[in-house]
Each structure stands twice: as C-alpha cells, then as structure tokens.
C-alpha cells in the first residue's frame, strides 16, 4: 500500500532565484521522491532545513579580552518520514532529558527523528550541497525505516482511541525574502573591541565585584525550509547583542548575580555609551542587595513589578500554554520542565479581567499614537515553514487555546506557526511575543496603595515588593545559557529541600511599610510552593507594560503588567557560610 505514497508529493514549484542553496535543495528533493529500499515503504514527507549563520563575538572581563572570533556555519537538518500522517517513524526512541532545554534531540521531548544535522559547504557550492544533502537523505531514510518498524511494534499493544496522529499537513508557502548580512565594518568592529575592554576595566574599581563579563555579538542568520508539500521558504534576520554580567559577594561569602541584556538591529548598540551606565547600575543594585539585612520569612501580600512581573508569567505560563505531545507509547514526556496545561483548556487559570495572547507577527509593542520598543519574539516563519499566527490563549481568565507546532496532541491539532528549535535541534511549540493584559489596570501609585491596604488588613507592618528574580528552573527549561545555569545552582545553595520551584529566588526585595510607605531592601528569601494555580490568587494588576526578553535559538518576549497577590509564603534561605571563598579578588586587595 505504500507505493501510492510516492504520488502524494506535489509537482515541483519553480522559484525564480539564483541562490545555490535553494536550487540544490529543490533538485535533491525531487530526487528523494524515488527513494525506495527493497520492499520497504517510501517516504510520505521530506523536509530540508538549512541555517546559514555568520557570527562575530567577543567577551571581556576586568579590562581584558578573553575571547574573540568570527565564524560562518551552514548546517542542514533532514526530516524524512515513513508511514502516514497517523503513524510514522518520528519519536521512535525513548529519549533522555528531552525536556531539559531540548537535550537529547527528540522532536517530541526525547524521541529521535530520522535525520540529524550535517555541515554544508560555507561557500555554498551547488554540487557540494547536493552531494551532502544526498548523503544525509539516504542515511535519514534508512534510519526512518528502522525506526518505523520499531515504533509500530511499540504502539501495537498500547494504541488507544485517543492516540493523536504523528504529524499534520500544512498549506505550502513560497516566499524567498532578501538575504541578510552583518552591516558592521571590520574597522568599526575593531573599535568596538577596544571599547569593550575599556568598559570592563571599570570593574576593577569595585572591590565587591568578584566576577563579571561583557559579551557582544553580531549574528546574521538566513533560514531555509524546503519540503515535499511544496514549501519553499527563505527568511533571515540580523541581531546585535550586548550582555553585561556582574557577581558580588555577600558578607557571609555567598555570591549573587545579575545581568543586563539588550538586542538590536542597530550595530551601534555594541559600543553605546549607555552600556557604562548599565554596568554601574548593576554594581550598585547588587551591592545594595548584598548589604541588605536578611529576612527570616514572610507570609502576606506580595507585589511583583518591573522585571519580576514578566518573569513570573514566563515561569508559570510560558511552557504550559505550548502543546506538549506525548511519547510513542502514549505517555507524557518524563521531564517537561513545565506544567502541561492541556487538561485545563476551558477552565480558569487567571482572574476574569485577564487576557493572554501570543503574537510573533509584531516586532514592536503597539502603543497609542505610535510604535513602542522592539521585542525579540518576532519571526516570519517557524522551523517547519509555517507562518505564525496570533493566538488568543486566555480570554476572561479561561484557557481557550494552546500554541501548536505540526505535531498534534490528543485534543489539539494544526500548527499555529510556533514550532521552533530548542537545544539539540528538537522542534517544539514555544512562545514568541506573549502579551498579558489586565482590563482597567491600576496605576503604580494605586498598586502600592493596594499593597499597603492589604498588608494592614492582614495585621502586618509591611508588605513585600519584588522587582527582579534570579534565574529559576523555568528559565533553564527554556534554554538558559551557561551563566544562567551556574547562577541558578549557586543561588540554590542553602535552599530548603523538596521540589524546585519554577520561580527563581527573589533578587531585589523591599519591605514597604504601612505607616509611611517607605521602603527597606531585604534579602535571603525563597518561595514556598508556587504553581500555575497560584495565578488565580492575583488580587490586582497594573496598566503598565513591562517587557522581559529571553535570548537563544528561539528568542521570545513577555509583555506583562505588575501584579499583586493577596498572600504568598516565602522562607529564609538557610545560611551556607563558607561555601564560597572569602579571599578577596586581586583588584580588591590593598596594593
């Protein structure tokens, strides 16, 4: 019966473009229609994805440049599917820690797909690309046959009436956008390197700084998707990124960290004078936090504002509202790193005034009378060649829809254009630009007054305001970088036992006194059990739009208001004195 699958491939769609990558992929795709191995089934779907990336990057610390490189890479990922839309070779393996940022490389959280990633020639030679694609396709097809046979056997006994299909069709798209390139000249890059060393030399002025770095990068990425349905897509972007990280030491010898990150389409960001001020702000903020008095614990109203408000929604909502398909045998991913909210569709997640939507089609925050700042979660097509849609996720507090890639779940099917790559090359639904809106939100002054009133009604002398959270487990699941991971485990020293909260520990915390509204900074707290159900206990929210962005292979932004909870429990982190060295850094010692 599989011989008929050969005719499911549409006729070739001719694209008028001289790009050798496009031509080679289309020509090799036509050849792949003849794939057959003995009496084995032919592919019903083939996709080629190419990422052509040029990267300039450098890192500096305490006045010196620790690394500098320019790199050009071109990689091909093949997806060859054997069987049918209902049952194919995808996700045939049991996988590993697929949920932990994508380690394991499985398309559905750990299970392998038919293809891997191979390098293509950087000079884009047509014949060399075809040869590499031919080798990759043949290898992927042979593995697909093996995986399909194994998978059919594994699901034969466990297949139930609710088992979802393995893949969904999509309308073909043909769009070749202009190629993107780094616009920074080499001479300007050299000037930027000099200014980077000068910036980090200022760290030597602060004896309390025990670690710090400044990292800059220029990235031009051109992405290609060509598949057997007829999709022919090329799109790209250029991003200039700056990241400043600072670590200081508390009197007990513990270390706390914070960072500033910015991304722009303008290369002038990399040498901007404002970066010096950002460094000073980081040092001042961390110094104040490290010298603040310890707080043993707290139960009462908590106001999340500034970055903490958006970080809260990222930690509790971002992964759960993205569909999470199960394993081949019907089970769920064993370590998803975020609560699967499919069971909550039609139920209330937030108070009624809240609405939540995701819209990767916008590149700036819409404002009355104009456009606001750039946001990071904008893209033209996802990794499966599907144009993203605006998705109304939560209406009047109820969960109405999920973000989807092309892999369906038991209850949801059809891509919303949110299939993007994580660590290991896996493709899963992820947020782009997540907007959280509260109807008739309060002003900053009204929120503070509500905090004080609630604290007073609870018999407390003060309420808590949290403006920034340290990296938490949810950030790790979303592909946090190595410094995030190091900071997370460093900050967990001395934490109470039990399961990890998706929220990071409060970094900047303030008592707000009922008597006169004055603020006093405190430290040393961690959250008790916090989950997505905690969001139902939001008392009020603000009208301000706070933006918090996450970089990486699938950049995203959260745009959310400050929120006030009537009551949360926080505990004092147990002292772990002596776990860090108290030997002063060289620049902090007397000369």
Ranges of each domain in the chain: 2-53+73-176, 186-225+232-287, 297-572
- Whether the per-residue pLDDT at 49 is higher than 80: the answer is yes
Counted residue by residue, the chain has a size of: 591
Total-model pTM: 0.88
- Whether the per-residue pLDDT at 331 is higher than 80: the answer is no
Q: What's the pLDDT score for residue 347?
A: 96
The pLDDT > 70 percentage for the chain reads 82
Q: What's the pLDDT score for residue 579?
A: 53
What is the C-alpha separation between 105 and 319, in angstroms, rounded? 18
Q: What's the pLDDT score for residue 512?
A: 99
Q: What's the pLDDT score for residue 583?
A: 66
Give the relative orientation of helices 274-291 and 186-201 as an angle to the nearest 10 degrees.
30
Q: What are φ and ψ of residue 153, in 5° steps?
A: -70, -35
Question: Residues 402-411: what's their mean pLDDT?
Answer: 94
> What is the chain's Cα-based Rg?
26
Count Cα atoms within 13 angstroms, Cβ side, for 465: 23
- Whether the per-residue pLDDT at 229 is higher than 80: the answer is yes
Question: Residues 505-527: what's their mean pLDDT?
Answer: 97
What is the C-alpha separation between 586 and 279, in angstroms, rounded? 20
531 DSSP 8-state letter: -
Q: What's the pLDDT score for residue 40?
A: 85
- The strand pair at 297-304 and 563-572 is best described as antiparallel
Instruction: Choose between 157 and 296: higher pLDDT.
Output: 296
CB atoms inside a 10 Å sphere around CB 43: 28
Q: What's the pLDDT score for residue 550?
A: 86
CB 523 within 8 A of CB 502: no
The per-residue pLDDT for range 491-508, each reduced to its tens digit, is: 555 444 444 568 899 999
Count Cα atoms within 13 angstroms, Cβ side, for 533: 3
What is the C-alpha separation between 537 and 347, in angstroms, rounded? 15
Q: What's the pLDDT score for residue 115?
A: 62
Residue closest to 79 by CA, chosen among 90, 94, 70: 90
Please state the separation of Cα 253 from the chain's center in Å.
32
Q: What's the pLDDT score for residue 269?
A: 94
- Whether the per-residue pLDDT at 14 is higher than 60: the answer is no
- Whether the per-residue pLDDT at 249 is higher than 60: the answer is yes
The per-residue pLDDT for range 425-436, each reduced to its tens digit, is: 679 999 999 999
The pLDDT > 90 percentage for the chain reads 71
* CB-count exposure of residue 327 (10 Å: 0-12, 13-18, 19+): buried
Residue closest to 508 by CA, chosen among 314, 287, 315, 209: 287
CB 429 within 8 A of CB 393: no
- Whether the per-residue pLDDT at 75 is higher than 80: the answer is yes
**Res. 154 pLDDT band, cuts 50 70 90:** confident
- Whether the per-residue pLDDT at 328 is higher than 70: the answer is no
Tokens of 177: 């956008």
What is the C-alpha separation between 288 and 522, in angstroms, rounded? 9
Instruction: Choose between 504 and 154: higher pLDDT.
Output: 504
Count Cα atoms within 13 angstroms, Cβ side, for 36: 9
Lowest mean pLDDT among 298-307, 325-334, 505-514: 325-334
Q: Which residues of 397-433 are buried (b: 16+ CB within 10 A; e: fewer)?
A: bbbebbbbbbbbbeebeebbbbbbbbbbbbbbbbbbb
**Res. 156 pLDDT band, cuts 50 70 90:** confident
**Res. 132 pLDDT band, cuts 50 70 90:** very high
Lowest mean pLDDT among 73-77, 366-370, 486-490: 486-490
- In SS3 terms, 538-582 reads as EEEEECCCEEEEECCCCCEEEEECCEEEEEEEEEECCCCCCCCCC
Lowest mean pLDDT among 6-10, 320-324, 539-543, 573-577: 6-10
The per-residue pLDDT for range 573-588, each reduced to its tens digit, is: 876 554 555 667 777 6
Instruction: Choose between 523 and 9: higher pLDDT.
Output: 523
Average pLDDT score, the chain? 86
What is the C-alpha separation between 571 and 527, in angstroms, rounded? 6
**Res. 486 pLDDT band, cuts 50 70 90:** low
- Whether the per-residue pLDDT at 337 is higher than 80: the answer is no
Count Cα atoms within 13 angstroms, Cβ side, for 452: 14
Give the range with max mean pLDDT: 162-171, 356-365, 480-489.
Answer: 356-365
Q: What's the pLDDT score for residue 102?
A: 34
The per-residue pLDDT for range 92-119, each reduced to its tens digit, is: 754 433 333 333 333 333 334 556 789 9
**Res. 302 pLDDT band, cuts 50 70 90:** very high
Instruction: Choose between 487 and 234: higher pLDDT.
Output: 234
What is the C-alpha separation between 41 and 38, in angstroms, rounded? 9
457 contacts: CB under 8 Å, gap ≥ 6: none
CB 383 within 8 A of CB 225: yes
Lowest mean pLDDT among 1-15, 95-109, 211-225, 376-390: 95-109
Question: Residues 549-578: what's their mean pLDDT?
Answer: 87
Q: Where are the beta strands (DSSP E) in 83-188?
A: 117-119, 174-176
- Whether the per-residue pLDDT at 591 is higher than 50: the answer is no
CB 421 within 8 A of CB 430: no
Cα–Cα distances in angstroms (integers) from residue 471 to residues 217, 311, 315, in the given order: 22, 9, 10
Q: What are φ and ψ of residue 434, in 5° steps?
A: -95, 115
Residue closest to 585 by CA, chosen among 234, 255, 126: 255
């Amino acid at each position: 019966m599989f011989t008929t699958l050969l005719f499911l491939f549409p006729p070739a769609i001719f694209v008028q473009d001289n790009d050798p990558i496009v031509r080679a992929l289309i020509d090799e795709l036509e050849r792949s229609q003849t794939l057959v191995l003995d009496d084995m089934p032919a592919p019903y779907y083939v996709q080629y994805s190419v990422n052509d990336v040029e990267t300039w990057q450098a890192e500096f610390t305490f006045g010196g440049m620790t690394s500098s490189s320019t790199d050009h890479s071109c990689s091909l990922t093949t997806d060859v599917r054997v069987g049918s839309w209902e049952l194919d070779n995808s996700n045939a393996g049991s996988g590993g820690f697929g949920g932990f940022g994508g380690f394991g490389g499985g398309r559905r959280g750990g299970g392998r797909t038919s293809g891997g990633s191979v390098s293509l020639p950087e000079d884009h030679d047509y014949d060399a690309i075809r040869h590499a694609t031919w080798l990759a396709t043949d290898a992927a097809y042979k593995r697909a046959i093996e995986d399909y046979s194994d998978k059919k056997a594994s699901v034969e006994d466990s297949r139930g009436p609710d088992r979802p299909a393995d893949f969904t069709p999509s309308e073909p798209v043909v769009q070749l956008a202009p190629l993107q390139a780094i616009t920074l000249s080499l001479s300007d890059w050299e000037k930027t390197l000099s200014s980077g060393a000068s910036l980090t030399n200022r760290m030597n002025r602060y004896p309390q700084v025990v670690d710090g770095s400044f990292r800059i990068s220029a990235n031009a990425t051109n992405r290609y998707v060509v598949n057997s349905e007829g999709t022919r897509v090329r799109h790209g972007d250029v991003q200039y990124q700056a990241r400043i990280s600072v670590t200081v030491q508390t009197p007990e010898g513990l270390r706390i960290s914070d960072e500033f990150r910015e991304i722009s389409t303008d290369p002038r960001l990399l040498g901007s004078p404002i970066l010096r001020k950002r460094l000073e702000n980081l040092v001042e903020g961390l110094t104040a936090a490290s010298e603040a008095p310890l707080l043993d614990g707290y139960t009462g109203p908590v106001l999340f504002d500034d970055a903490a408000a958006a970080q809260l929604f990222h930690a509790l909502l971002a992964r759960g509202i993205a569909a999470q398909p199960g394993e081949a045998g019907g089970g769920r991913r064993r370590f998803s790193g975020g609560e699967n909210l499919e069971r909550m569709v039609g139920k209330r997640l937030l108070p009624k005034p809240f609405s939540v939507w995701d819209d990767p089609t916008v590149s700036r925050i819409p404002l009355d009378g104009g456009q606001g700042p750039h946001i990071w979660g904008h893209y033209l097509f996802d990794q499966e060649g599907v144009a993203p849609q605006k998705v109304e996720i939560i209406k009047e507090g109820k969960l109405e829809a999920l973000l989807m890639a092309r892999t369906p779940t038991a209850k949801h099917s059809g891509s919303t254009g949110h299939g993007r790559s994580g660590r290991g090359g896996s493709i899963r639904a992820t947020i782009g630009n997540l907007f959280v809106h509260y109807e008739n939100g309060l002003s900053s002054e009204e929120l503070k007054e509500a905090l004080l009133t609630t604290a007073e009604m609870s018999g407390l002398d003060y309420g808590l305001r949290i403006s920034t959270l340290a990296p938490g487990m949810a950030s790790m699941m979303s592909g946090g970088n190595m410094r995030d991971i190091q900071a997370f485990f460093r900050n967990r020293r001395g934490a109470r036992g039990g399961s990890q909260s998706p929220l990071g520990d409060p970094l900047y915390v303030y008592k707000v006194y009922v008597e006169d509204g004055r603020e006093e900074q405190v430290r040393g707290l961690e959250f008790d059990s916090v989950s997505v159900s905690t969001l139902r206990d939001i008392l009020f929210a603000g009208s301000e739009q706070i933006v918090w962005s996450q970089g990486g292979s699938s950049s995203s932004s959260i745009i959310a208001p400050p929120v006030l909870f009537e009551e949360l429990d926080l505990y004092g982190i147990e002292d772990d004195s002596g776990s860090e060295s108290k030997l002063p850094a060289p620049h902090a010692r007397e000369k």
